[in-house]
């Protein structure tokens, strides 16, 4: 009875490297949200996807960030050429189609850029 699984839980990258964050939704869920949270701040929406389709990426920075949710496998949030300002907690949430019943969060990935 797995919930939303995110990995890794903690990720350390040097400036300029790439970070790949993975999210496996709950069984039966076809939609995924990604959020970023800086310390002592609120959740900031990044992107909303269904399998093989980006529904809303209005919160995604225009450069260096990309997200996908392939037909098979987890959703991936990719950050290229990371900078110190990318250090944050990244949360994934999944929901069934239609959103009724709400979305359920994973434990998050804490990214630290050194």
Partner 1 sequence: QKEVEQNSGPLSVPEGAIASLNCTYSDRGSQSFFWYRQYSGKSPELIMSIYSNGDKEDGRFTAQLNKASQYVSLLIRDSQPSDSATYLCAVTNNAGNMLTFGGGTRLMVKP
Q: Is 97 in the site for partner 1 (CB under 8 A)?
A: yes
Residue 31 phi/psi, 5° resolution? Answer: -125, 145
Q: By C-beta, is 43 or 76 nearer to partner 1?
A: 43
Helix (H, G, I), strand (E, B) or coil at 85: helix
Nearest approach, Cβ of residue 56 and partner 1 (Å): 6
Query: Cβ contacts of residue 98 below 8 Å, gap of 6+?
Result: none
92 and 76 Cβ atoms separated by less than 8 Å: no
| Number of residues in the chain | 114
Binding-site size, partner 1 (CB under 8 A): 26
Q: By C-beta, is 23 or 79 nearer to partner 1?
A: 23
Span 21-80, contacts to partner 1 by CB under 8 A? 31, 33, 35, 42-43, 45, 48, 55-56, 58-59
49 and 68 Cβ atoms separated by less than 8 Å: yes
Going 65 to 7 to 39 to 55, the CA torsion angle's sign is positive
Which of 74, 106, 111, 113 binds partner 1 (CB under 8 A)? It is 106
The residues of the shown chain that bind partner 1, judged by CB under 8 A, are 31, 33, 35, 42-43, 45, 48, 55-56, 58-59, 91, 93, 95, 97-108
């Amino acid at each position: 009875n797995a919930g939303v699984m995110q990995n890794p839980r903690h990720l350390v990258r040097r400036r300029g490297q790439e970070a790949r964050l993975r999210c496996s939704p709950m069984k039966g869920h076809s939609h995924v949200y990604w959020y970023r949270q800086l310390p002592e701040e609120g959740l900031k929406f990044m992107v909303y996807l269904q399998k093989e389709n980006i529904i809303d990426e209005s919160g995604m920075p225009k450069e260096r960030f990309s997200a996908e949710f392939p037909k098979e496998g987890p959703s991936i949030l990719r950050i290229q050429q990371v900078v110190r300002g990318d250090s944050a907690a990244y949360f994934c949430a999944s929901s069934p189609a239609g959103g009724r019943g709400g979305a359920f969060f994973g434990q998050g990935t804490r990214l630290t850029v050194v």
